[in-house]
């Protein structure tokens, strides 16, 4: 299966990762060999086989449907990388000029 | 305190009799870790102020006051949990994993968190943001992975037991490389709540220790009951220690031809020897075939990477974890934080997973892998219809040299060929020391049908008593 640099760039966008132009050739080559290793699976005849996504018989786990105060806000904010006035702070999403 | 000649029973007895104080035990454990870990790098966080609970009830809680190591992808409230990643290097959890809650109820003493391959992705513990862990049998060799830190902590006598996690062999392969026992229970036996997810349909928390009985005692505490994990089985959990000391006479043991063919030379001989010991003791040995073995590595890497790419979406630099300083807009926060925060192997697997799940590839890769998984499960069901256990080698070679495989991902991935199937089928599997090859330990893998960990403990304990490997101590550490 032919994997091109364009495919890898597209996969990087889907993955929310960036690849430097200088590394692109090497990453493509490496991903290509891994994908071709994985493609060996197409040799297996699975025409009449169902998929397995979960191996254990599912026993539904129930718990009482009661709201509870599980976490303290300050506790939860402890790990937030950037915050202001008790809110999580992120870079501007809507540019003011675009809004006008 | 060094635990090479101790187990939970011996420590519990000394604590109960008062010849050993729990406080002293905690302090001595931390002191020994600090003294030996310069060479090994088995730990990411050592809790220097580790303190046992007060008024411990040693009669009712076998594990009371006993220091245990925790792999650093298991969430511990107020103790840094990093998954060995830059993206979580300062993460302070606000809750405990269920296994930690259960160990707290048993009054275990927590002494810290052990090193691993980043997000448990790897077979050598070379892919850690916190540096490489070294094998105590030979410091130039890898300890295996991804639970390399936990394996080394046990093998070097820093602790008597450790928790690990196993997605494709991450407990059994390092157990084999370090000459200890390690068990991955049945999928659904132990709650995954609070285990930082890698591949949710394959991940399982398990135990590593020098003796099988020790792992049975810890598994007794962490297995079963949790309303937070919908994949957890509601089956009753037996007392696993009652399988220790039982005879193997009459047990039906399958030996997989493809597994034995995967090893050669001295390693083949060591494994054959252990099988011969079982036969001599009255076990019935049959050769069987698992013809799909050659497909388990590609099958695993498609499924595991697809689930990983989905699970690791949550690391976006917004609510917790590393955030890039250079991000100019929101998309930039995601892309830059992830690109700077994740290591090379993790990025590789996210990309492979995104590829396998993408619109043009889903049927050919993910759906096909899920179908092949069905056939692998059916093969095991067929063997377990008339066998109690499968035994064979855990790995194809003993521990390899540090740096020798890291540049070749496919070579590294193939290290797991003998352990992966158990995760795909959700069956329990363990590795017990089989002997030494060129001065390095090799492991015998034991697999059983779902929820039959008992048969594994029975065989592992028998092998332990036969070869007495536990009397050997690692030879690679410098004084």
Q: Under an 8 A CB cutoff, do B227 and A61 touch?
A: yes
Which residues of chain A are within 8 Å of residue B313 when distances are taken between CB atoms?
16
Reported ipTM: 0.91
Which residue among the candidates B71, B184, B210, B458 is catalytic per the annotation?
B71
| Structural domain spans, chain A | 5-42
Instruction: Give the model's confidence band at A63: pLDDT under 50 very low, under 70 low, under 90 confident, else very high.
Output: confident
Which residue among the candidates B124, B146, B215, B337 is catalytic per the annotation?
B146
**For chain B, what percent of residues have pLDDT higher than 70?**
100
DSSP annotation string for B356-372: HHSTTTTIIIIIHHHHH
pLDDT higher at B196 or A67: B196
Interatomic CA distance for residues B373 and B420, integer angstroms: 11
Q: CATH topology for B8-246+394-471?
A: Amidase signature (AS) enzymes (3.90.1300)
Mean local confidence (pLDDT), B113-131 = 98
Query: Looking at chain A, which residue has its C-alpha nearest residue B292?
Result: A44
Q: What is the pLDDT of residue B78?
A: 95
Mean local confidence (pLDDT), B3-21 = 95
Contacts of B447 (CB under 8 A, 6+ apart): B380, B389, B390, B391, B421, B422, B427, B428, B429, B456
B124 in Cβ contact with B406 (< 8 Å)? yes
Q: What is the pLDDT of residue B379?
A: 97
Q: Under an 8 A CB cutoff, do B377 and A16 touch?
A: no
Q: Under an 8 A CB cutoff, do A11 and B367 touch?
A: no
Query: Looking at chain B, which residue has its C-alpha nearest residue A61?
Result: B230
Interatomic CA distance for residues B395 and B177, integer angstroms: 8
Among B319, B158, B389, B155, residue whose Cα is nearest residue A77:
B319
Which residues of chain B are within 8 Å of residue A59 when distances are taken between CB atoms?
232-234
Q: What is the pLDDT of residue A19?
A: 96
pLDDT at A97 over 90: no
Confirm whether B170 is a catalytic residue: yes
Q: Under an 8 A CB cutoff, do B234 and A59 touch?
A: yes
Q: What is the pLDDT of residue A76?
A: 87
Interatomic CA distance for residues B376 and B369, integer angstroms: 10
pLDDT at B230 over 80: yes
Interatomic CA distance for residues B363 and B350, integer angstroms: 18
Question: What ranges in B358-452 are assigned the alpha helix state H?
Answer: 368-384, 409-413, 420-425
Which residues of chain A are within 8 Å of residue B320 when distances are taken between CB atoms?
79-81
Q: Tokens for B42?
A: 């088995």
Q: What is the pLDDT of residue A98?
A: 56
Gap from A29 CA to chain B (nearest CA, Å): 12
Which residues of chain B are within 8 Å of residue A82 when distances are taken between CB atoms?
323
pLDDT tens across B26-76, in order?
Answer: 999 999 999 999 999 999 999 999 999 999 999 999 999 999 999 999 999
Q: Under an 8 A CB cutoff, do A53 and B201 touch?
A: yes
Q: What is the pLDDT of residue A59?
A: 63
Q: What is the pLDDT of residue B397?
A: 96
Q: Of the ranges B226-230, B440-444, B446-450, which one carries the lowest mean pLDDT score?
A: B226-230
Q: Tokens for B387?
A: 């066998």
Which residues of chain B are within 8 Å of residue A38 when distances are taken between CB atoms?
298, 301-302, 352, 356, 365, 369
Q: Under an 8 A CB cutoff, do A39 and B299 touch?
A: no
Contacts of B37 (CB under 8 A, 6+ apart): B43, B46, B158
Q: Is B36 helix (H, G, I), strand (E, B) or coil?
A: helix
Instruction: Name which of A55, A76, A97 to mutate to probe chain B: the one with the most chain B Cβ atoms within 10 A of its Cβ.
Output: A55
pLDDT tens across B350-367, in order?
Answer: 999 999 999 999 999 999
Q: What is the pLDDT of residue B326?
A: 87
Confirm whether B146 is a catalytic residue: yes
Instruction: Give the model's confidence band at B316: pLDDT under 50 very low, under 70 low, under 90 confident, else very high.
Output: very high
Q: Under an 8 A CB cutoff, do B299 and A37 touch?
A: no
Q: What share of chain A is helix, strand, coil (3-state, %, to 5)?
A: 45, 5, 55
Of B230, B295, B339, the CB nearest to A44: B295
Sheet holding B284-288, edge to edge: B43-46, B109-114, B67-71, B161-165, B205-209, B181-184, B429-437, B440-448, B389-393, B252-256, B284-288
Instruction: Give the model's confidence band at A72: pLDDT under 50 very low, under 70 low, under 90 confident, else very high.
Output: confident
Q: What is the pLDDT of residue A99?
A: 52
Confirm whether B128 is a catalytic residue: no
| Structural domain spans, chain B | 8-246+394-471
Gap from A99 CA to chain B (nearest CA, Å): 16
Of A31, A75, A80, the CB nearest to B351: A31
Which residue among the candidates B85, B124, B156, B170 is catalytic per the annotation?
B170
Q: Under an 8 A CB cutoff, do A56 and B368 touch?
A: no
């Amino acid at each position: 299966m032919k994997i091109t640099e364009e495919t890898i760039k597209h996969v990087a966008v889907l993955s929310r990762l960036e690849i430097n132009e200088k590394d692109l050739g090497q990453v493509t080559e490496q991903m290509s060999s891994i994908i071709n290793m994985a493609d060996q699976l197409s040799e297996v005849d699975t025409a009449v086989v169902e998929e397995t996504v979960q191996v254990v018989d599912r026993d539904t786990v129930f718990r009482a449907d009661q709201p509870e105060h599980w976490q303290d806000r300050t506790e939860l904010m402890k790990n937030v990388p950037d915050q202001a006035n008790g809110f999580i702070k992120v870079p501007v999403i809507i540019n003011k000029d675009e809004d006008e | 305190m060094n635990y090479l000649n101790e187990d939970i029973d011996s420590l519990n007895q000394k604590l109960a009799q008062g010849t050993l104080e729990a406080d002293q035990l905690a302090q001595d454990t931390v002191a020994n870790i600090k003294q030996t870990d310069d060479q090994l790098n088995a730990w990411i966080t050592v809790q220097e102020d580790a303190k046992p609970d007060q008024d411990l009830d040693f009669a009712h809680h076998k594990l009371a006051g006993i220091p245990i190591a925790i792999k650093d992808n298991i969430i511990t409230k107020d103790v840094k949990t990093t998954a060995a990643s830059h993206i979580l290097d300062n993460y302070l959890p606000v809750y405990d994993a269920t296994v930690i809650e259960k160990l707290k109820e048993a009054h275990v003493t927590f002494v810290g968190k052990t090193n691993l391959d980043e997000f448990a992705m790897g077979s050598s513990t070379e892919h850690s943001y916190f540096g490489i862990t070294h094998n105590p049998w030979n410091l130039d060799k890898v300890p295996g992975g991804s639970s390399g830190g936990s394996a080394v902590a046990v093998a070097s006598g820093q602790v008597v037991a450790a928790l690990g996690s196993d997605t494709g062999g991450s407990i059994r392969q390092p157990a084999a490389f370090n000459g200890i026992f390690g068990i991955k229970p049945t999928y659904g036996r132990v709650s995954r709540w609070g285990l930082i997810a890698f591949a949710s349909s394959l991940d399982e928390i398990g135990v590593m220790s020098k003796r099988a009985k020790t792992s049975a005692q810890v598994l007794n505490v962490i297995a079963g009951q949790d309303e937070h994990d919908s994949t957890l089985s509601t089956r009753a959990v037996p007392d696993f220690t009652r399988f220790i000391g039982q005879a193997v006479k009459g047990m039906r043991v399958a030996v997989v031809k493809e597994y034995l063919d995967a090893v050669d030379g001295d390693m083949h001989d060591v494994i054959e020897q252990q099988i011969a010991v079982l036969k001599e003791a009255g076990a019935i040995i049959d050769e069987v075939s698992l013809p799909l073995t050659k497909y388990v590595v590609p099958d695993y890497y498609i499924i595991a990477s697809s689930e990983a790419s989905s699970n690791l979406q949550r690391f976006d630099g917004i609510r917790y974890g590393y955030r890039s300083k250079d991000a100019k807009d929101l998309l930039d926060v995601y892309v830059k934080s992830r690109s700077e925060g994740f290591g090379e192997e993790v990025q590789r697997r996210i990309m492979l997973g995104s590829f396998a799940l993408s619109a043009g590839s889903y049927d050919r890769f993910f759906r096909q892998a899920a179908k092949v998984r069905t056939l692998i499960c059916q093969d095991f069901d067929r063997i377990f219809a008339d066998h109690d256990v499968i035994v064979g080698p855990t790995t194809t070679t003993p521990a390899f040299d540090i740096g020798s495989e890291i540049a070749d991902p496919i070579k590294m991935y193939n290290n797991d060929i003998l352990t992966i199937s158990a995760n795909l089928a959700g069956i329990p599997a363990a590795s017990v020391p089989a002997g030494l090859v060129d001065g390095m330990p090799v492991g015998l893998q034991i697999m059983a049908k779902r929820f039959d960990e008992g048969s594994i403990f029975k065989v592992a304990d028998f092998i332990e008593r036969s070869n007495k490997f536990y009397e050997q101590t690692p030879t690679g550490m410098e004084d």
